[in-house]
Amino acid sequence: MPELGLFPLDVVLLPTERAPLHIFEPRYRELIGECLAQEREFGLVLGDRDGLREIGTRAAIVEVLDEFPDGRLNIVIEGRERFRLVELTEGRAFTTGEVEALADEDSISERKQREIVLELYREVAELVEADVDEPDPDSGVLSFEVAARVDFGVERKQELLELTSEPERLTRVTDLLRQASDGIKLERELAERASMNGRGVSRRG
């Protein structure tokens, strides 16, 4: 069973997702330095007051943005395969653990389901006036590609990460996108009412 260097953070990295990372702790500078020198991946796993989560994502370093004289780094990472943390190991300055790959079930999403997700994604992007970075509908992991582009929050991203059925993930992403769209519309409606400040309200008597 392979051992993997782990980076516990209050962050969830989804497969296909790219994210910036600032490296400043000596132990993790050591981990990232080894990954750069040996062209290896490390494991990013959600770590919070509830401890380390069991499911994490292998992260590849795709770009080094800044190297500072004191050893700090700004890098860009990309989510690759998921893993299950079987057991923590010891012997290094940074966290390590034995891991096993987490694969999806042999279930394929329906095209109609993918079209609905993309339609909702475009709607949310238009509402927030963001440029649409169109995901690949036939990638097999459209759920991850969409969730990587919309901020659903750490807990919801972890929930998606742990699901092993693409149709099930797409159903969840559909619900989250509808909630996001409804929330944005409601917020705008309330803001519009507040800006009227009572104007347009008729009085009787």
Domain locations in the chain?
Answer: 3-101, 111-196
- Write down the pLDDT at residue 124: 93
Q: What is the mean pLDDT of residues 157-181?
A: 96
pLDDT per residue as tens digits for the range 15-50: 999 999 999 999 999 999 999 999 999 999 999 888
> Cα–Cα distance between 7 and 175 in angstroms, integer?
30
The neighbour count for residue 181, using CB atoms within 10 Å, is: 17
pLDDT per residue as tens digits for the range 95-110: 999 999 999 998 889 9
Kindly tell me if the per-residue pLDDT of 160 is higher than 70: yes
The neighbour count for residue 5, using CB atoms within 10 Å, is: 20
Sign of CA dihedral 129, 142, 138, 79: positive
Q: What is the mean pLDDT of residues 147-164?
A: 96
- Write down the pLDDT at residue 205: 43
> Cα–Cα distance between 63 and 106 in angstroms, integer?
33
Residue 45 CA to chain centroid, in angstroms? 11
Residues 6+ apart with CB under 8 A from 14: 57, 79, 144, 147, 148, 157, 160, 161
Output the pTM of the full model.
0.87
- Write down the pLDDT at residue 45: 97
CATH of domain 3-101: 2.30.130.40
pLDDT per residue as tens digits for the range 103-131: 999 888 999 999 999 999 999 999 988 78
Compute the mean pLDDT over every residue in the chain, rounded to the nearest whole number.
92
Length of the chain: 205
Q: Supply φ then ψ for residue 142, to 5 degrees.
A: -60, -35
- Write down the pLDDT at residue 197: 64
> Cα–Cα distance between 105 and 111 in angstroms, integer?
18
CA atoms within 13 A on the CB side of 180: 24
Tokens of 15: 């497969």
167 vs 188, more confident = 167
Q: How far apart are the first and last CA of the chain?
A: 81
Kindly tell me if the per-residue pLDDT of 86 is higher than 60: yes
